[in-house]
Amino acid sequence: MAKSLEDARKKLDDEYGQVRRHFDDIHKALDAVEQAGPEDELERLLGELEDAVKKVRTGGLVGHGANGHTRARKEYLQIKQG
């Protein structure tokens, strides 16, 4: 747990930044779905989009994803509210 509001805010900003950096992966996968035609493998492309979203939401082998942001936000708000 963070010791101060400033530490909690730094952690919150860091977690938020980590999630935002992976939005490009979602956008690329979504672009591939949107550009697909009738002869493309829609199921595979949608699966790749789903995988990209899940990775950002839950994290991968290394990060926490949006789960880490949720925990950091909760901690920050608890400290902020006293």
Res 2 pLDDT > 90: no
pLDDT, tens only, 27-67: 999 999 999 999 999 999 999 999 999 999 988 766 788 99
Higher-confidence residue of 36 and 82: namely: 36
What's the pLDDT score for residue 19? 92
The answer to whether 29 touches 45, Cβ cutoff 8 Å, is: yes
Burial class (CB in 10 A: 0-12, 13-18, 19+), 12: buried
**The domain containing residue 14 runs over which residues?**
5-81
Q: How many CB atoms lie within 10 A of CB 72?
A: 22
Could you tell me how far CA 61 lies from the centroid of its own chain?
Answer: 13
**Count of domains for the chain:** 1
What's the pLDDT score for residue 75? 95
Res 1 pLDDT > 70: no
Buried b vs exposed e over 31-45: b needs ≥16 C-beta within 10 Å?
ebeeeeeeeeeeeeb
